[in-house]
Protein backbone atom coordinates (compact mmCIF):
# COMPACT_ATOMS: atom_id res chain seq x y z
CA UNK A 1 0.00 0.00 0.00
CA UNK A 2 1.35 3.44 -0.85
CA UNK A 3 2.69 5.58 1.95
CA UNK A 4 0.42 8.36 0.71
CA UNK A 5 -2.70 6.36 1.61
CA UNK A 6 -5.31 8.38 3.43
CA UNK A 7 -8.01 7.48 5.90
CA UNK A 8 -10.30 10.18 4.57
CA UNK A 9 -13.80 8.76 4.15
CA UNK A 10 -14.78 8.42 0.51
CA UNK A 11 -18.25 8.19 -0.97
CA UNK A 12 -19.78 4.75 -0.61
CA UNK A 13 -20.30 4.45 -4.41
CA UNK A 14 -18.30 5.92 -7.25
CA UNK A 15 -18.79 5.35 -10.97
CA UNK A 16 -15.38 5.20 -12.62
CA UNK A 17 -14.52 6.47 -16.14
CA UNK A 18 -14.30 3.04 -17.75
CA UNK A 19 -16.82 1.39 -20.06
CA UNK A 20 -16.48 -2.17 -21.35
CA UNK A 21 -18.16 -4.11 -24.16
CA UNK A 22 -20.84 -6.23 -22.53
CA UNK A 23 -21.55 -8.21 -25.71
CA UNK A 24 -17.93 -9.40 -25.84
CA UNK A 25 -17.86 -10.16 -22.13
CA UNK A 26 -21.13 -12.09 -22.30
CA UNK A 27 -20.01 -14.01 -25.39
CA UNK A 28 -16.85 -15.18 -23.64
CA UNK A 29 -18.75 -15.92 -20.46
CA UNK A 30 -21.18 -18.12 -22.36
CA UNK A 31 -18.28 -20.28 -23.60
CA UNK A 32 -17.13 -20.76 -19.99
CA UNK A 33 -20.53 -21.44 -18.47
CA UNK A 34 -20.50 -24.52 -16.30
CA UNK A 35 -24.19 -25.34 -16.64
CA UNK A 36 -27.12 -24.77 -14.36
CA UNK A 37 -26.77 -23.65 -10.76
CA UNK A 38 -28.94 -22.88 -7.78
CA UNK A 39 -29.07 -19.48 -6.10
CA UNK A 40 -25.47 -18.25 -6.37
CA UNK A 41 -22.43 -19.27 -8.40
CA UNK A 42 -18.80 -18.10 -8.33
CA UNK A 43 -16.38 -18.61 -11.21
CA UNK A 44 -12.75 -17.67 -10.40
CA UNK A 45 -10.83 -16.00 -13.22
CA UNK A 46 -7.79 -15.11 -11.12
CA UNK A 47 -6.97 -16.90 -7.87
CA UNK A 48 -4.13 -17.82 -5.49
CA UNK A 49 -1.40 -19.42 -7.59
CA UNK A 50 -1.36 -22.68 -5.61
CA UNK A 51 -5.09 -23.13 -6.30
CA UNK A 52 -4.58 -22.67 -10.04
CA UNK A 53 -1.40 -24.77 -10.28
CA UNK A 54 -1.70 -27.60 -7.78
CA UNK A 55 2.01 -28.38 -8.14
CA UNK A 56 2.86 -25.15 -6.31
CA UNK A 57 3.21 -25.24 -2.51
CA UNK A 58 0.72 -23.60 -0.20
CA UNK A 59 2.17 -20.26 0.92
CA UNK A 60 3.43 -19.95 4.50
CA UNK A 61 1.10 -18.55 7.19
CA UNK A 62 0.72 -14.77 7.17
CA UNK A 63 -0.04 -12.32 9.94
CA UNK A 64 -2.55 -10.51 7.72
CA UNK A 65 -4.37 -11.94 4.70
CA UNK A 66 -6.46 -8.86 3.88
CA UNK A 67 -4.24 -7.13 1.33
CA UNK A 68 -3.50 -10.14 -0.87
CA UNK A 69 0.26 -10.04 -0.39
CA UNK A 70 0.26 -13.42 1.39
CA UNK A 71 0.31 -15.30 -1.92
CA UNK A 72 1.10 -15.02 -5.60
CA UNK A 73 -1.93 -14.72 -7.87
CA UNK A 74 -2.44 -16.44 -11.22
CA UNK A 75 -4.91 -16.35 -14.09
CA UNK A 76 -7.11 -19.44 -14.34
CA UNK A 77 -7.52 -21.40 -17.55
CA UNK A 78 -10.94 -19.75 -17.93
CA UNK A 79 -9.35 -16.30 -18.05
CA UNK A 80 -6.55 -17.38 -20.36
CA UNK A 81 -9.23 -18.63 -22.77
CA UNK A 82 -11.05 -15.27 -22.68
CA UNK A 83 -9.02 -12.56 -24.45
CA UNK A 84 -11.53 -9.74 -24.00
CA UNK A 85 -12.10 -10.43 -20.29
CA UNK A 86 -8.32 -10.61 -19.91
CA UNK A 87 -7.99 -7.19 -21.59
CA UNK A 88 -10.55 -5.77 -19.14
CA UNK A 89 -8.51 -7.01 -16.19
CA UNK A 90 -5.25 -5.85 -17.80
CA UNK A 91 -6.71 -2.32 -17.86
CA UNK A 92 -6.05 -2.35 -14.12
CA UNK A 93 -3.24 -4.91 -13.85
CA UNK A 94 -1.00 -2.63 -15.93
CA UNK A 95 -1.16 -0.05 -13.13
CA UNK A 96 -1.69 -1.90 -9.86
CA UNK A 97 -1.59 -5.41 -8.44
CA UNK A 98 -4.77 -7.33 -9.25
CA UNK A 99 -5.51 -10.17 -6.86
CA UNK A 100 -8.82 -12.05 -6.89
CA UNK A 101 -11.04 -11.84 -9.99
CA UNK A 102 -14.39 -13.60 -10.21
CA UNK A 103 -17.61 -13.83 -12.17
CA UNK A 104 -20.55 -13.79 -9.77
CA UNK A 105 -23.90 -15.21 -10.86
CA UNK A 106 -27.15 -14.65 -8.98
CA UNK A 107 -30.09 -16.76 -10.08
CA UNK A 108 -33.54 -15.35 -10.88
CA UNK A 109 -35.80 -14.82 -7.88
CA UNK A 110 -32.83 -14.91 -5.49
CA UNK A 111 -31.31 -12.60 -2.90
CA UNK A 112 -27.96 -12.01 -1.26
CA UNK A 113 -28.71 -11.12 2.34
CA UNK A 114 -27.35 -7.94 3.86
CA UNK A 115 -23.77 -8.26 5.00
CA UNK A 116 -20.48 -6.38 5.16
CA UNK A 117 -17.02 -7.22 3.82
CA UNK A 118 -14.77 -5.78 6.55
CA UNK A 119 -11.62 -5.54 4.42
CA UNK A 120 -13.06 -4.18 1.15
CA UNK A 121 -12.88 -0.44 1.69
CA UNK A 122 -10.46 2.25 0.55
CA UNK A 123 -10.12 3.51 4.15
CA UNK A 124 -8.94 0.16 5.50
CA UNK A 125 -5.17 -0.05 5.86
CA UNK A 126 -3.39 -2.97 4.18
CA UNK A 127 -6.44 -4.14 2.28
CA UNK A 128 -7.70 -4.61 -1.24
CA UNK A 129 -10.59 -2.81 -2.90
CA UNK A 130 -13.14 -4.36 -5.26
CA UNK A 131 -14.35 -2.94 -8.55
CA UNK A 132 -17.64 -4.21 -9.96
CA UNK A 133 -18.52 -4.44 -13.66
CA UNK A 134 -22.04 -5.69 -14.42
CA UNK A 135 -22.17 -8.03 -17.43
CA UNK A 136 -25.84 -9.03 -17.45
CA UNK A 137 -28.55 -7.21 -15.55
CA UNK A 138 -32.29 -6.63 -15.66
CA UNK A 139 -34.59 -3.92 -14.38
CA UNK A 140 -35.60 -6.08 -11.42
CA UNK A 141 -32.09 -6.40 -10.03
CA UNK A 142 -31.48 -4.07 -7.09
CA UNK A 143 -28.14 -3.62 -5.34
CA UNK A 144 -28.60 -1.90 -1.99
CA UNK A 145 -25.69 -0.15 -0.27
CA UNK A 146 -26.36 1.60 3.05
CA UNK A 147 -30.07 1.12 2.42
CA UNK A 148 -30.25 2.83 -0.98
CA UNK A 149 -29.96 1.37 -4.46
CA UNK A 150 -26.90 1.66 -6.69
CA UNK A 151 -28.01 1.81 -10.33
CA UNK A 152 -25.19 0.02 -12.14
CA UNK A 153 -25.60 -0.55 -15.88
CA UNK A 154 -23.90 -3.36 -17.82
CA UNK A 155 -20.42 -2.37 -18.97
CA UNK A 156 -19.98 0.31 -16.30
CA UNK A 157 -17.24 0.10 -13.65
CA UNK A 158 -17.95 0.98 -10.02
CA UNK A 159 -16.04 1.29 -6.79
CA UNK A 160 -18.33 0.34 -3.89
CA UNK A 161 -17.37 0.68 -0.23
CA UNK A 162 -18.28 -2.86 0.71
CA UNK A 163 -17.28 -2.44 4.34
CA UNK A 164 -20.74 -0.89 4.60
CA UNK A 165 -23.97 -2.97 4.70
CA UNK A 166 -25.08 -4.18 1.27
CA UNK A 167 -27.50 -6.70 -0.22
CA UNK A 168 -28.78 -7.77 -3.63
CA UNK A 169 -32.25 -8.69 -4.88
CA UNK A 170 -32.82 -10.33 -8.25
CA UNK A 171 -36.58 -10.39 -8.76
CA UNK A 172 -36.20 -10.85 -12.51
CA UNK A 173 -36.54 -13.91 -14.71
CA UNK A 174 -32.88 -14.14 -15.78
CA UNK A 175 -29.66 -14.39 -13.85
CA UNK A 176 -27.52 -11.42 -12.88
CA UNK A 177 -23.84 -11.62 -13.83
CA UNK A 178 -21.12 -9.34 -12.40
CA UNK A 179 -17.38 -9.28 -12.92
CA UNK A 180 -15.50 -8.31 -9.74
CA UNK A 181 -11.84 -7.28 -9.71
CA UNK A 182 -9.93 -7.00 -6.43
CA UNK A 183 -6.74 -4.96 -6.36
CA UNK A 184 -4.24 -3.42 -3.98
CA UNK A 185 -5.02 0.32 -4.06
CA UNK A 186 -2.20 2.63 -5.12
CA UNK A 187 -1.92 6.28 -6.13
CA UNK A 188 -3.19 5.54 -9.65
CA UNK A 189 -6.54 4.01 -8.70
CA UNK A 190 -6.96 6.32 -5.69
CA UNK A 191 -6.69 9.35 -7.98
CA UNK A 192 -9.21 7.90 -10.41
CA UNK A 193 -11.67 7.27 -7.58
CA UNK A 194 -11.11 10.71 -6.07
CA UNK A 195 -11.43 12.50 -9.42
CA UNK A 196 -14.59 10.51 -10.20
CA UNK A 197 -16.10 11.49 -6.85
CA UNK A 198 -15.64 15.13 -7.73
CA UNK A 199 -16.88 14.84 -11.33
| pTM metric for this prediction | 0.92
- At 125 the pLDDT is 85
- At 39 the pLDDT is 86
Q: Tell which residue, 49, 135, 149, has the closest CA to residue 85.
A: 135
Integer angstrom CA distances of residue 91 from 60, 71, 157, 186: 30, 22, 12, 14
- Cα–Cα dist 117/198, whole Å: 25
Per-residue pLDDT of the chain (199 residues; tens, 9 = 90+): 443 444 455 799 999 999 999 999 999 999 986 667 778 999 999 999 999 999 999 999 988 888 899 999 999 999 999 999 999 999 999 999 999 999 999 999 999 999 999 999 999 888 999 999 999 999 999 999 999 999 999 999 999 999 999 999 999 999 999 999 999 999 999 999 999 988 6
Q: At what angle do helices 83-93 and 22-32 cross, to 10 degrees?
A: 120
Q: Tell which residue, 15, 29, 10, has the closest CA to residue 135.
A: 29
3-class state of residue 89 by DSSP: helix
Q: Which fold has domain 22-30+70-198?
A: Jelly Rolls (2.60.120)
Amino acid sequence: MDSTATKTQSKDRVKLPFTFDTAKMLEEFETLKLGEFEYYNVMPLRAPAHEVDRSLPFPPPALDYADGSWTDWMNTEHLEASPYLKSVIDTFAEHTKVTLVRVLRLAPDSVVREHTDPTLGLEIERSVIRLTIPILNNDKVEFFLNGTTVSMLPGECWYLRLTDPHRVVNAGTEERINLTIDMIPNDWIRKIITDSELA
